[in-house]
Each structure stands twice: as structure tokens, then as C-alpha cells.
Chain A
Amino acid sequence: MSATTSTTMFPKTRKLAWLMHLFLIGYSLLILLPLTWVVMGALKTNREMFTDPIALPKDPNWGTFITAWDDGVRDYFFNSVIVSGFSVALIVVISAMAAYALTRLNFPFRRGLYLIIILCFAIPMHAVLVPIYVLLSDFGLLNTHAGLILPYAAFGLPFSIILMYSFFYEFPTELEEAAKLDGCGPWRRLWHVVLPLSKPILVSVAIFNLVSIWNEFLLATIVMTSPEVQTLPLGLVRFRDQYATNWPGMLAAITIGSLPLLAAFVAFQKYFIRSMAGMGK
């Protein structure tokens, strides 16, 4: 965190500092204990789980992870990778194109179009489920990856465009003017001049959308009814309904499903925090 906050504003008595740490440690444990319990539980046998749910596993049973992976989690995992990967790529490219046109080019109804995009941001997917289901059904897109990718891309666009719009808006135009004098059209100015200098906002937009799409549940429930195409959140719930008595297997599935984003978050937490804190602006 920044150096400007290094001075403490609360009285610097030892006792108070200890109390504040104690509070933060307590709250951190409240977060960490359930998460650790999941991993520990996955390593136990079902019998251990029932007789003593709190105890540590006596003989860690790593095989549970392999069984869960082979038992469907692999398919859910790759479905999630495909759906999230394509959706996020579409959102980043399309929102950059749109935001560029909205901030740099002159065309009729420009201001009105931006207001419409802001309006779209306020419309939740929850409120148009039935028509989206009918549309996907008419085009034969139910139970296909495209059936999730296209609506995810559409609903990811408004906020991404708003973020990029304000970034491009404050972005200096001198370089583009120079490129224009050299005969570069709007496309080349966007791809070769603006985008290479816009990495921070592109990363923010990508992370923000990745987190929400990787974890999306409601639309996926409706669109993906056959198990072969289901994404991780659905697969995990399906796992519960199927293996109601196999607790370690379920906990292993939860662990595998949550690990990729958790690992990415710990590795790149600066970018994650910046991306998510952007919601407050």
C-alpha cells in the first residue's frame, strides 16, 4: 500500500495496536477457517467426516481430488475455461472498439448512444431471463458454449465501455494526431497507438469480467441443462445433488473449482484489487 498512509492516526499506545491486530486476526480467521475446513475435509475419509468434522485428517487422502477431477470436474473446468475465455476476449475487444469510436470519432447521436449504454448498465440479466431463453432456444443455442458466451459478452459490455470511455477520454491525443498525419486511419490508430498504451484499463476490464463470468450461475442454470456442457458453479451444485453422502468428494470438487481464481488473485492481487475497487468510482 502507498507510503503516504504510513503515519498512524490513532494514538500509538501498544495496547491499542494489539487490540486492532487482534480484531483483524479474528476477522481473518473467520474467513480462513471455513476455507481451510473445505480443503481439510477433502483430505478426510467419509467416516472421519461424520465422526469428527473439526479434527484434522489422520491420513490425508489426496486420491479424492483425482476421483473428483475424473468424475466430472474436469469437464466443468474446461467448459468454464472456454466460456470465460471467449466471453472476456469478446468483451475486451468490442468494448475497446466502441469506447474508441465514442471518444474519438464524430458521428450522429454520439451522446445519445452513450446514454443508452449507461441505461443498459442498469438492466440486470435477471429481468430478461425468459426472452433470452426463448431467443437462444430459437437459434438452437441452448446447451452450447455460444449460448452462454454471447449473452455474457452483451451484459459485460456496458460497464466495460463506461470504464474504457473515461480512460480514453483522459488519454492525451497528441500521439494519435501524429499518427493521423502519417496517414493512419482510425483502426490503425486504435490497434497500434492507443491499445498498446491502455494495458492497465484492459487488464482491469478483463479481470472484472473474468471474476463475474467464471462464477455466473443464474443464466448458466437455464441455458446449460445437460451435464457435458455445464460450467463449474453448476457442476458443483450438481455434484452435491449427486453425491449427497460423499462429503470429501464434494469438498474436493469445491476446492478444485475455486483454486484457479484464488491462485490468480493471490499472485496478481494488486491488479485484482485495483479492478474491483474501480466499481466505487
Chain B
Amino acid sequence: MFSKGREPVSALLLLFPMLVLLGGFIFLPLGQVFVWSLFQQEVFGGPQRFIGLANFAEMGSDRVFWQALVNNMIFAVLSIVLQVGMGLVLAALLDHGVRRFRVVYRTIIFAPIVVSTAAIGLLWGLMLDPNIGPITDWMSLFGVPMPRNGILGEPDLALVGTIFVGAWQYTGFMMVILLAGMQSIPEELYEAARMDGCKGIRAFINITLPSIRNVIVTCVLLTVIGAFKVFDLVYVLTNGGPGTATEVLASYIFRNAFEFSNIGYANAMSVVFLGIALIFGVIQHRMIRK
């Protein structure tokens, strides 16, 4: 578009700050994670001992690692159902359902996104507290018994409870993305369908859903990536417990690196984590380009 000559020099100057930051904080660390995953190290700044792939072998027999991985998957699947499912319902109601107060509903439902997940974890930790949290009181009004240690204190319920809190925060995000997709569908499509007698739920199934197929897939991917990155919520609500019932990959890596003095092992798990992130990243990129 513009002539050549000094352009590469200008380009280098414009790109320089970015190259420094990406190089220093993304590419250098990326290489180090791979190299350090082959070493055993107990303290930061302490000696490193080369052990080949032993860290990766350890993962195979580490029950907690697999539990964390499975917990991430449960997190992903349930979050898709709750966040994308409910997000679709809410977006449909705001798009072609109700006519009044739409901005009010949208504002309220989206609001939790701008609150920090740490604060939301604290808030729901208090709400669900078995002794003084109001949830127990509210539930007893309806005659629903609550476990004595609270939902987050029960190994079988803690993960599901955490997933619900996550959905409480993020469903509004999905709703807004899906709503933006729905609003870009031309109104003529609906009018033509109405001529043929197709309206209501059938218009939603035959027109809305197919038109925003890509947006729905993007939402599913965002939810899955988010579910594999979950840390704050688990750390604040349950700290991985009770026992290791709610341990996830990010919290287990964190614990190994900064609590268990198992730095090499943490790096090896980071390599696995990177692999998972890259797979979903590539799928997402393919989707965006379509």
C-alpha cells in the first residue's frame, strides 16, 4: 500500500515494545517450562537435577493429577450445560421475547462479570456457610435439608457447588455474546418464516439457532477454555478440598510449585496444561476464521 524504503525500520520501532514483552514474558517462559520439566527442583534458586521424563511418568500414577483433570472435565461439561444453555434461554427472551425492561434485565444479569471472581468466591463462601450463611435458612423455609458441613464441605457436592457459583458469575457473559449474535440476524428472515406460519419456539429452532451456530460454538469453546483455567474460584471457595475433591489442574500446579516444593513436577504438568490450551486455541482460531 505504501512505498518501501525505511518502512522496515519504522516497523521495527513500532513493534519493539511488543517484541520485548512477548519475548520476555511468553516465549522465554514457554521454553523454560519445557526444559525445566525434565529436571527435579525443590527450592527456587536451588539445585536442578536432570531426571529425563521421570516427572511425566510420575503423572501417570498420581491419583490427584488425574482427579484434577477429571474435575476440569466435569467443570467444562456442566458449565456448558449451565452457562451456554441458560445463556441461550435468557438471550432468546431478551431478543424476541419480552419488549420492556430489556436493558434493565441485561444490566443486572451481566453485572457479576465485572466483580472479581475472588470477591464472588468470598461472597458465596459466606452465603453457603453452614452455620451463618443465609442459604441454609432459605432452604429450610422450603423444607430442603442441607448437609451439616455445608455444600462446600461435602466431597460429593463441593465441585458441583463450585461449578454453580461459576455459572452464577459467567452466564451473563454468555448471554451477552449470544444476544449480540441473535441481534445480527436480519428481521426479514423471521418475517418470511412468519408468512409460512413458523413462529414462536419453532422460529427459534429453525431460524435463530442455525443462524448463530458459530456463535454458540465460540461460547462452548470459551466455556471449555475457562473451565480448564479455573483457579480463583476453587482457591477461594474450597482450596481444593475437602481433601482433594475439588482440586483442578491450575490449583494442583500452583500447590506443587509454591507449597509442595515440587517445582519440576509443576513444570511437567504445565506442559500438559499447555498442550490442552493449544488444542482448544487452534480449534477456536479455526472457528474465528470461518
Contacts and interface: CB of A to CB of B under 8 A. Distances in A.
Nearest to B102: A1
Interface string A179-194: 0100001110010000
Interface stretch (B30-38, B53-61, B149-157): B30-38
Contact of B1 (A49, A104, A124, A128): A104
B109 A10 contact: no
Interface string A223-235: 0000000001110
A126 B231 contact: yes
A161 B116 CA distance: 24
B257 A129 contact: yes
Nearest to A50: B132
A262 B36 contact: no
A128 B257 CA distance: 11
A74 to B, nearest CB: 17
Interface stretch (A59-67, A197-205, A272-280): A272-280
Contacts of A24: 90, 93-94, 98, 101, 105
Contact of A187 (B10, B100, B103): B10
B116 A233 contact: yes
B177 A151 contact: no
Interface residues on B, range: 35 or more
Given A215-B116, A257-B119, A128 B137 contact: no
Contact of A122 (B103, B173, B278): B278
Interface string B103-142: 1111111111111111100111111000011100110000
Nearest to B23: A154
Contacts of B168: 30-31, 34
A105 B32 contact: no
Contacts of A30: 168
A258 B115 contact: yes
Interface in B1-20: 1-2, 4, 7-8, 10-12, 14-15, 17-18
Contact of A101 (B14, B25, B127, B183): B14
A56 interface: no
B249 to A, nearest CB: 8
B96 A130 contact: no
16 contacts: A1-B94, A6-B99, A10-B200, A28-B109, A31-B109, A34-B123, A135-B25, A154-B22, A186-B7, A218-B235, A247-B132, A258-B115, A262-B111, A266-B107, A279-B173, A279-B218
Given A27-B109, A106-B2, A269-B107, 5 more contacts: A119-B281, A122-B285, A126-B250, A129-B266, A135-B24
* 4 closest cross-chain pairs (CB), A and B: A122-B281, A131-B29, A215-B116, A280-B177
